[in-house]
Amino acid sequence: MLWTGLSPDEARTYIEQKDKSKRDKRMTMTEAVQTFVKDGDNIGVGGFVNSRQPVAIAHEIIRQGRKDLILSFQSAGLVPDYLLGAMALKPDHLSVQRMEFAYCGHEYAGTSSMLRYMTENEKIFIEDWTNFSMSARFKAGAMGVPFLPIRSGLGGDIEKCNRSQTIQCPFSQRNILLIPACHPDVGILHVQEADIYGNCRIKGQTFTCPEIAMASKNVIVTCDKLIDHEIIAMDPTRTSIPFFAVDAVVELPFGSYPTVCHDIHYYDKIHLEHFKGLTDAFRKGDRDSLAAYYDAYIYGVADTDQFIDKIPYNQLKYARQTESRNLELQTHLTPPIA
């Protein structure tokens, strides 16, 4: 069996010997990526499509450059597009060798041109799953079991192109699909709130962030807001991820911008669609416009502070104002113009 990332035994051994102390894990983004993201790593990407994607961490990985990465996620949009775009422009600086996923695209904003470019030119190895099978793979990892049985994927082509196996259930005698655990080398997550020890509070849908955190060898978390540990301790039922699963905490307001972060900000549709348009143009032969974007927004800035500095204030403001309010209140807002 090919285990991309850690095998269940390796994953277990690593956690057994890991320093699980409750200590201050604040780091700069540069340090966190330098410490925990290596060439060849299987990266578990948090969020869902363009919701709470760990954009800032992806930008830093691109700035530092890594080779032969594996990306594992259920559904994602901007993070794989950013990483694949970086590879398309400078394959000697950053490369992705493999993706294990269910959906790569942007829903309302269309398909991923970077996925199309990479696959149609046979530049990466692909393994298709479904949203549930990928989610259950992280869950199996989080549970410390080598596989889980699920009732999806039986009888179609997806099971023919991945490592799942159909068996007859020894109890019910019916067919069932077994999916192998996924233990990423590093989980990259953005959450709304965390304390200095790494206890995380996720608001709204958790997607598969808790499962990725518990299944991964190491975990980097960015948070919109660092909160007092006392606040966590007062209401621990609201903790989505416990501190000892987390290795680096980076306080980074707008760390998932321009994707939506529940209760903090809505999408910046202007920025998202601008980048998406450049990837579409790249696939049709315009390399320079996409390269100019990377030079301006990723390579040309030192960090996320400088990236956010380049976003017009009225776009940031509108993204904040359109989040968590009813339509009636939204009608009083003036949308920014691209």
Partner 1 sequence: MTDYATDYSPGEMIVTAGARQLENNKVIFAGTGLPMVGITLAQLTNGPGIIPVFEAGAVGPTLDRGLPLSVGDSRTTSRANFIQGLNSAFELTQRGFIDIGFIGGAEIDPYGNLNSTMIGNFPENYMKPVVRLPGSGGAGDMSCSCTYTILIVQHELRRFVEKLQYCTSIGHMDGSKDARKKAGLQGKGPKWVITTKALMGFDDETKRMKILATMPGETVESVQAVTGFDLMVDADVYEFAPPSKEEIRLIRDVIDPTQIFCKR
Restricted to residues 11-40, the positions that interact with partner 1 (CB under 8 A) are none
Per residue in 10-43, is it b (16+ CB within 10 Å) or e — as a string?
A: ebeeebeeeeeeeeebbbebeebbeebbeeebbb
Cα distance between residue 189 and residue 203, in whole Å? 13
Q: Which residues of 195-231 are buried (b: 16+ CB within 10 A; e: fewer)?
A: bbbbbbbbbeebbbbbbbbbbbbbbbbbbbebbeeee
Burial of 331 (0-12, 13-18, 19+ CB in 10 A): exposed
Smallest gap from residue 137 Cβ to partner 1 (A) = 10
Does residue 16 contact residue 178 with C-beta atoms inside 8 Å?
no
Determine which helix (DSSP H) or strand (DSSP E) holds 225, and give its type and residue range.
Answer: strand 218-226
**Stretch near partner 1 under the rule CB under 8 A, chosen from 23-31, 87-95, 109-117, 250-258:** 109-117
Q: Does 97 bind partner 1 (CB under 8 A)?
A: no
H or E segment and range at residue 306 = helix 304-309
Site for partner 1, residues 149 to 188, rule: CB under 8 A: 150-158, 160-161, 166, 174-177
Closest contact distance (angstroms) between CB of 306 and partner 1 is: 27
The residues in 67-96 that bind partner 1, with binding defined as CB under 8 A, are: 74-75
In the complex, minimum distance from the CB of residue 152 to partner 1, in angstroms, rounded to a whole number = 4
- Tell me the C-alpha distance between 194 and 191, whole Å: 7
Q: Considering only 13-21, 225-233, 290-298, 322-330, which stretch makes contact with partner 1 by CB under 8 A?
A: 322-330
Nearer to partner 1 (CB atom), residue 43 or residue 140? 140
- Return the range that interacts with partner 1 (CB under 8 A); candidates 83-91, 293-301, 312-320, 321-329: 321-329
Q: Does 266 bind partner 1 (CB under 8 A)?
A: yes
Touching partner 1, residues 229-248 (CB under 8 A) = none
Token pair, residue 221, equals: 């978390």
Give 248's DSSP letter. Answer: E
Query: What single letter denotes the amino acid at residue 211?
Result: E
Number of residues in contact with partner 1 under rule CB under 8 A: 71
Nearer to partner 1, 66 or 139 (CB): 139
Show the tokens assigned to 229. 């540990």
Among residues 37, 191, 213, 260, the one that binds partner 1 under rule CB under 8 A: 260
Member of 62, 136, 194, 241 binding partner 1 (CB under 8 A): 136
Nearer to partner 1, 41 or 159 (CB): 159
Nearest distance from C-beta of residue 303 to partner 1, angstroms: 26
Measured from the CB atom, is 30 or 324 closer to partner 1? 324
Task: Considering the complex, state which of residue 63 and residue 106 has its C-beta at the smaller distance from partner 1.
Answer: 106
Tell whether omega for the bond before 336 is within 30 degrees of 0, i.e. cis.
no
